[in-house]
Amino acid sequence: MSVVTALNQKGGVGKTSTCYHLAGALALGGRRVLLVDNDPQASLTQGFLGPQATRALDPSETIAAVYHQEAMAEQVIRGTHVPGVDLLCGGRAAGSFNVPDPHLTDWPLQTSLRDFLADVSGGYDLVLIDCPPNLHLASWTSLVASDGLLVPLQPEDFGAQGIADVQESIDRVVSGPNPALRLLGFLVTMSNPRLSVHKGFEQLLRTHYGDAVFTTTIPISTDFKEAIVQRQPVAQYKPRGAATKVMKALGEEIFARLAAADEPTAAGEAA
């Protein structure tokens, strides 16, 4: 099992929708996916349950129980209407844990999510963690628990402004509680190829960051929005659509990057 966090300090760049639609595409291809809603806004949870059902969740049924270190897998992980996709729900109660300066919090809190996921590792091919648009404790625990980090960003200046701060958090986690964390790459989202500003900004990103930018680009598509209205990932809404093909390509690239990140470790062990 691999654990991947989607994180950017900037909101509205496609973190939640990437997790949502990617999980559906992976499930369509036979993968088992656990989605972790680590954002107190619980948008990912609402994508499956709706807003009213999400607000009605008891904190003991959400990731808040993980932070309390009282969670049992059968208590907080639920199946979804998408075969192959399970969900660890988010909720408002987790907001009280999302404090600034997370590296200064008690050690059990920093590792609470990692310890929980270690107990369920056998059941999934991939765990995808959705984070709030800040670098407080929720994001920190996600990085501590993860093998790789995916940074969604829009091909516009405001959408890419959080890159430096995210990199600082990566460096701090790698030098502390999770030396194995790797940056999988920057993912360009909501791209409109007809806009010269989008094409120019994406080219600038690729020039500056090279292979650290995913080859796959997520375009603006009404299929994504229509699927969310139907409370379905796009792969279940339009399994043969162009948007689904893009999400499948992203899934393949993520697994390829995870495998490449493991190669130096494997070579070192062999030596």
For residue 157, the Cα-to-chain-centroid distance in whole angstroms is 22
Once rounded to an integer, what is the mean pLDDT over residues 204-225? Answer: 94
CB 4 within 8 A of CB 31: no
Q: Is residue 270 part of a domain?
A: no
- Using pLDDT thresholds of 50, 70 and 90, give the confidence band for residue 99: very high
Residue 271 has pLDDT above 50, yes or no: no
| CATH number for 176 | 3.40.50.300
Max Cα distance, the chain (Å): 55
Q: Is residue 243 part of a domain?
A: yes
Q: Is residue 271 part of a domain?
A: no
Mean of pLDDT over the chain: 92
Q: Is residue 244 part of a domain?
A: yes
Burial zone of 17 (CB within 10 Å; 0-12 exposed, 13-18 middle, 19+ buried): buried
Domain that holds residue 174: 2-264
Token code pair at residue 247? 């999400």
Q: Is residue 72 part of a domain?
A: yes
> What are the tens digits of pLDDT across the range 137-186?
999 999 999 999 999 998 876 556 667 788 888 899 999 999 999 999 99
Q: Is residue 177 part of a domain?
A: yes
The percent of residues above 70 in pLDDT, for the chain, comes to: 95
Q: Is residue 269 part of a domain?
A: no
Number of domains in the chain: 1
> What are the tens digits of pLDDT across the range 179-199?
999 999 999 999 998 899 899
167: left (phi > 0), else alpha (psi -120 to 50), else beta?
Answer: alpha
Residue 269 has pLDDT above 90, yes or no: no
Residue 267 has pLDDT above 90, yes or no: no
Q: Is residue 67 part of a domain?
A: yes
DSSP code string of the chain? -EEEEE--SSSSSSHHHHHHHHHHHHHHTT--EEEEE--TT-HHHHHHH-HHHHHT--GGGSTHHHHTT---HHHHEEE-SSTTEEEE---GGGGGG--S-GGGS-HHHHTHHHHHHHTTGGG-SEEEEE--SS-SHHHHHHHHH-SEEEEEE-SSTGGGTTHHHHHHHHHHHHTTT-TT-EEEEEEE-SB-TT-HHHHHHHHHHHHHHGGGB-S---B--HHHHHHHHTTS-HHHHSTTSHHHHHHHHHHHHHHHHHHHHHHHHHHHHH-
